[in-house]
Amino acid sequence: MSLQGEVCVVTGAGGFLGKRLVKLLLEEEKMAEIRLLDKQIQPQLLHTLADCRGDTKLSVFEGDIRDGDFLRKSCRGASIVFHIASIIDVHDAVEYSEIYGVNVRGTQLLLEACLQENVASFIYTSTIEVMGPNSNGDPIINGSEDTVYDCSLKFIYSKTKKEAEQRTLQAHSEVLQNGGRLATCALRPMYIYGEGCRFLLGHMGDGIRNNNVLYRMSRPEALVNPVYVGNVAVAHLQAARSLKDPERRNAIGGKFYFICDDTPHVSYSDFNHIVMSPLGFSIQEKLMYPLFLLHIICFIMEVVSVILRPFIRIVPPLKRQLVTMLNTSFSFSYQKAKRDLGYFPKYTWEEARKRTTEWLASELPNEREKISAK
């Protein structure tokens, strides 16, 4: 099912995944208009999209996701919303009111804008972290959408993404102003890597400071399956196509899908080494400290931060839940997305790795210069 002639809104269009999705839409579909919604859109982004835009109109909507009037204006006349924008925070560094306001309240306001402005389809970018891992570190290996698991989420980020996802799925089939019905679905990507991934840059910077040796924060046996950003964009496109198809719309509406690809199952730390080893980086053989000691250190830092909270806000660089996440086997299958959405990875593991490593190589001189200047 083609999206030709449609008008869509992409929230978070200036971000890591948002930019990739906009480019894919321009390359794969002849849409009437794509609206780039974000707090700020860099002019350079429009220049990079110039060669593939064709006859598609690109419109910039800069504003706050918590502004209902702004969202209604952005959605007016649109038929599809890709809701990617959110605050990503695995350190609990962002104030609760801020992250809840953007991730949950912003999603609710956007859903309300869709109902008021007769937007037919809504695709929500969720995360694997709404599933876990839980604080016990219970593993999941090659799980599916039917896997039963005690989430007991600890991160504020995970909790707010979970609530926003639930609100999205509950909004499926709500009545639009014109009498039609809204169709929604949610995509749960694994850890997303690729060109523009700020987490990879951060790990590379740490490795540079450590004499080109990457820190090991994950046990080799804690297997996960990261996903390439280009393939996550493909999944979003396939979800939009499926929601437009009258025969498939209700079958997938109100459901969530895990999104991954054929990237090998490895630990987070070993994945960093795989994509950075061609650049001259090695990796520590063992964890910096035994796992039990890491948990004790994190516990002490967390207690100190709570005691000092009335006087000063201190964010521990590492928390127990993050240590658990980095050291728990947690992998899933994309077979349901393949069956229901027609999703299949466009980029092979070899292509994804090559593109990611080449991008890191292009960033390496700048990273070295910034670090040496400090």
Check 100, 124, 149, 157 and give the catalytic one.
Answer: 157
- At residue 92, what is the residue type? D
H helices then E strands: how many in the chain? 14, 13
Is 100 annotated in the active site? no
Residue with tokens 């090695």: 282
Taking a C-beta distance cutoff of 8 angstroms, is the pair 56, 32 a contact? yes
Please check whether residue 86 is in contact with residue 162, taking contact to mean a CB–CB distance below 8 angstroms: no
Question: ∠ CA 205-212-263 to the nearest 5 degrees?
Answer: 75
CB atoms within 10 A of CB 117: 21
Residue pair 12/41 in contact by the 8 Å Cβ criterion: no
Q: H/E element holding 290?
A: none
Helix, strand, coil: what percent of the chain each, to 5?
Answer: 45, 15, 40
Question: Any alpha helices (H) in the chain, and if so which ranges?
Answer: 16-28, 43-49, 68-75, 96-100, 106-116, 156-170, 198-209, 229-244, 246-252, 268-276, 291-308, 320-326, 335-341, 349-373
Catalytic residue numbers read: 157
